[in-house]
C-alpha cells in the first residue's frame, strides 16, 4: 500500500528549462509535505516543504504546489541547472505523527 507515489522514475530536462516533478498521495490525513534531494553516496537533503493550509510555497528557484482536492503536489525548478541532477523524493506526514512516508523517487537529469 503505497500512500505516496511518484509515478515518473526519471525525467530529463534541458538546462535553463523548467523541471516539474510530481507526487500523488492517498491519505487525506497528511498535512505536511516535503521534498528532498539525494545525490549518490549522500543522505537526502531537505529542499522545501508545504503545509496543507497553503497551496504554494516558493524558495528561490524551487516552488512546491499543493492541490488537496486532487491529493497531488508538484515541485517546479526554474531555471533547471546541471547541479540539480539528483533523485528527488516527496514525503508526507500527518500532524501528531512522527514519521514521514516517502515516495519512491524521481531521478532528474538536467542536460547541459
Partner 1 sequence: DAGVTQSPTHLIKTRGQHVTLRCSPISGHKSVSWYQQVLGQGPQFIFQYYEKEERGRGNFPDRFSARQFPNYSSELNVNALLLGDSALYLCASSLSGRGGYGYTFGSGTRLTVV
For partner 1, the closer CB: 19 or 105: 105
Which helix H or strand E contains 94, and what residues bound it? none
Confirm or reject binding of residue 110 to partner 1 (CB under 8 A). Answer: no
Residue-wise DSSP of 4-71: EE---SEEEEETTS-EEEEEEE--TT--EEEEEEE-TTS--EEEEEEETT-SEEEETTEEEEEETTTT
Find the binder of partner 1 among 24, 84, 103, 108 (CB under 8 A): 103
Confirm or reject binding of residue 31 to partner 1 (CB under 8 A). Answer: yes
Find the binder of partner 1 among 13, 21, 24, 36 (CB under 8 A): 36
Give CA separation, 87 vs 11, 52, 76, 92, 101, in Å: 10, 24, 14, 17, 16
Tell me which residues in 6-25 interact with partner 1 (CB under 8 A): 6
Confirm or reject binding of residue 46 to partner 1 (CB under 8 A). Answer: yes
Confirm or reject binding of residue 28 to partner 1 (CB under 8 A). Answer: no
List of residues contacting partner 1 (CB under 8 A): 4, 6, 31-32, 34, 36, 41-46, 49, 51, 89, 91, 93-105
Amino acid at each position: 500500500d503505497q500512500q505516496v507515489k511518484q509515478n515518473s522514475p526519471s525525467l530529463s530536462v534541458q538546462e535553463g528549462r523548467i523541471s516539474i516533478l510530481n507526487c500523488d498521495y492517498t491519505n487525506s490525513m497528511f498535512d505536511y509535505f516535503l521534498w528532498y534531494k539525494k545525490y549518490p553516496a549522500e543522505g537526502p537533503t531537505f529542499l522545501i516543504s508545504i503545509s496543507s493550509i497553503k497551496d504554494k510555497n516558493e524558495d528561490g528557484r524551487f516552488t512546491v504546489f499543493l492541490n488537496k482536492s486532487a491529493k497531488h503536489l508538484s515541485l517546479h525548478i526554474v531555471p533547471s541547472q546541471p547541479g540539480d541532477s539528483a533523485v528527488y523524493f516527496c514525503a508526507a506526514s500527518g500532524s501528531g505523527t512522527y514519521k514521514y512516508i516517502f515516495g519512491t523517487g524521481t531521478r532528474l537529469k538536467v542536460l547541459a
